A and B are shown apart, each in its own frame.
Chain A
Amino acid sequence: GDSVTQMEGPVTLSEEAFLTINCTYTATGYPSLFWYVQYPGEGLQLLLKATKADDKGSNKGFEATYRKETTSFHLEKGSVQVSDSAVYFCALSRSSASKIIFGSGTRLSIRP
């Protein structure tokens, strides 16, 4: 079945460091891919998405490129801030499905 695998956390970085959180997926066809973020004490919210191969999603300085050949959707940010500390979830959906499938989440902590 469809699944999403993302790097285990926690990931701890210093402010202004470069961030990469790896995500790979298994799915039939051409799924849409998403990154969601969960700030402390809050629900998940959509960060960015890409709906076809080679698309790049971006928001709040974060980017991720849909790589069909490597079945990956890695999240990157050039210079992280303390306010980026949160749990990040990679996810996918297929056009024929009524649901979004999530990974296990990666906790990110940024030191001042």
Chain B
Amino acid sequence: ETGVTQTPRHLVMGMTNKKSLKCEQHLGHNAMYWYKQSAKKPLELMFVYSLEERVENNSVPSRFSPECPNSSHLFLHLHTLQPEDSALYLCASSQGAVANTGELFFGEGSRLTVL
């Protein structure tokens, strides 16, 4: 495995379900991110973890709950979602302060559909 891997690639869930998205990076990076990609909207930063501590939380509803157990793994726990939460969820990683290098490494995304 190389780069950033996200599972599952596709997920369909009802509004009362609980599910989780998983991200794993094999690059030795120390920061990880969740972004939400919706059609015709700017890519929306949800959470940032640096050295396994949350450093950014952009007013995301509590029905999204991140977890970063170590520098290689990042989860997004989902519960009681709404249909408008349907989107592509992208995980990314970087080494050091992203503002310096500008280089984020993205996974292929998890396509979420909420019925």
Q: Give residues of chain A (80-112) contacting chain B, Cβ–Cβ below 8 Å.
A: 89, 91, 93-105
Which of B4, B48, B90, B98 has the largest count of A CB atoms less than 10 A from its CB?
Answer: B98
Query: Whole-angstrom distance between the alpha carbons of A76 and B92 in the complex?
Result: 26
- Annotate B45-68 by CB proximity to A: 1 below 8 A, 0 otherwise: 100101000011000000000000
Q: Which of B48, B102, B108 contacts A49 (CB 8 A)?
A: B102
Q: Which residues from A are CB-within-8-Å of B107? A: 43
A43-B90, A44-B104, A98-B50 given; A103·B99 CB < 8 A:
no
Report yes or no: A99 in contact with B43, Cβ–Cβ below 8 A: no
Q: Shortest CB–CB separation between residue A42 and chain B, in angstroms?
A: 6
Are A105 and B106 also in contact (CB < 8 A) when A43-B90, A98-B98, A99-B56 are?
no
Q: Is the CB of B42 within 8 A of A44?
A: no
Question: What's the nearest-Cβ distance from chain B to residue A88, in Å?
Answer: 12
Judge whether B97 is part of the interface by a CB distance below 8 angstroms. yes
Complex Cα spacing A104 to B48, Å: 20
Q: A99–B100 Cα gap in the complex (Å)?
A: 10
A interface residues with partner B (beta carbon < 8 Å) = 3-4, 8, 32, 34, 36, 41-46, 49, 51, 89, 91, 93-105
- Excluding A91-B102, A99-B48, A100-B45, 19 further A-B contacts by CB distance (< 8 Å) are A43-B4, A43-B109, A44-B90, A45-B106, A46-B102, A49-B103, A91-B43, A94-B99, A95-B99, A95-B100, A96-B99, A97-B99, A98-B99, A99-B56, A99-B98, A102-B35, A102-B42, A104-B40, A104-B42
